[in-house]
Structures are given as structure tokens and as C-alpha cells.
Amino acid sequence: DAISVRETFAKDYLMKVLDKKIDVISDPTFLLSREEWIDKLASKSKYYKCEEKYILTYFVSKEKNSRECIQFIKNYSQKYNYPVWSIQFSTYYSKTGDKKILGASMEDFLALVLNAQIIITDSFHGTALSLNLEKNFVSYNNSENPLRVHNLLNRLHLLERINMDYESYKTIDYKNVRKGIDEIRKESQEWIVDAIE
């Protein structure tokens, strides 16, 4: 009765094979507000009250193994003099991590993002949750699946966050970004309600 996808390219692909209306709405992570993510999940983590300063990395592609990526992260760590904490879901040991967090729970993942000084990630959800929690982040280009992050950051006028070099790094002014996220959330919530009704 109702079909939605998260990206325009998926809509374009499906419309070639289906004779149905398809809408693009946000990733479900945007359906919750920053406060809801914190109150319902992050606040339950052992990392919630962490006062240490660190750069958090979360990588899902093979990019993490490249010399360029390793040097990219080291440059940030050296510039800001923060250790690198690496969230991992495999036994691969990050060559840039000072601390490895293996198999973080959702609560821990969110609290680690919330308390990080900078997040460096090639993951769509790493980027989306950084945005949701209004954190400073850099999206390292994931050559295996670049479109999802590009589409999201383009909509929020943050394309410069992709591979942002440490020398040109700047913090994010969330005033206008927050409006864009609120708009994304409202559109998606309305679509779901209309589809159910």
C-alpha cells in the first residue's frame, strides 16, 4: 500500500521495475530527537558520564586499512592531542586506535558519540547519529557506498564534512542544521502516519 526508501537512487531503481508510487523519507534514526536518543539510550551507558577527551572512529568499510585513512586519523589526533578510541565489531585491531571498544551496545555507541570531541567515520549511521546528537564529525568517504552519506550531507548543506582535512577543520554551527534535521523528521513522521491511516 505504501513504499518508502531512504535514498533517491533506490527510488529511481525501484521505479524502473515497479508500477507504484515510491517516496524517499529519512533513515529511521532521524525519527527520534536528540533528547530521546540521550534519555532513552545513551544515559544508560557506562560511558555516559565519561569526562575523557577523545576522537572516536567507527569504520565499516575496508578504507580503515588504507595508508591514507590511517594517516588521516593520525593527523587529527596529533593536531588536537586527543587519543583515538575505535568502535569495532570485528577482531581487527585498528592501527590508529589507542583504545579499542569491541562490540559496543547501542547505549554505549550513542554515549561514545555523545562524549567525543570529534567523530571520524565512513559509516552512514555513524554520520547520521553524529548529526542527531549535534556532534562535530568528519565523514571519511566510503568508496563502497558513498551515495547515502553524500545525499544526506548535501541536503543539510554539509558536503564539506566529507574528508575534511585537519588543516581546514571547523566546528559545525547546528542552528541551521537543526532546522534541516527537524524538517527531515517531520516529513518522515507525516509520511508514516499517512501510510498507516
What confidence score (pLDDT) does residue 89 get? Answer: 75
What confidence score (pLDDT) does residue 92 get? Answer: 61
What confidence score (pLDDT) does residue 9 get? Answer: 83
What confidence score (pLDDT) does residue 4 get? Answer: 93
Residues whose CB is less than 8 angstroms from the CB of residue 55 and which lie 6 or more positions away in sequence, other chains included: 73, 76, 77, 80, 82, 83, 84, 85, 116, 117, 118, 119, 120
Q: Which cell is 183 given?
A: 524538517
What confidence score (pLDDT) does residue 10 get? Answer: 87
Q: Are 88 and 22 in contact (CB under 8 A)?
A: no
Residues whose CB is less than 8 angstroms from the CB of residue 157 and which lie 6 or more positions away in sequence, other chains included: 176, 177, 180
Residue type, 44: K
Whole-structure pTM value: 0.91
Instruction: Write the secondary structure of 26-58 as one string of H (helix), E (strand) and C (coil).
Output: CCHHHHCCHHHHHHHCHHHCCCCCCCCCCEEEE
Query: Which positions of the chain have pLDDT values less than 70?
Result: 90-96
What confidence score (pLDDT) does residue 95 get? Answer: 66
What confidence score (pLDDT) does residue 110 get? Answer: 97
What confidence score (pLDDT) does residue 65 get? Answer: 79
What confidence score (pLDDT) does residue 71 get? Answer: 94
Distance CA 46, CA 154 (A): 34
What confidence score (pLDDT) does residue 93 get? Answer: 60
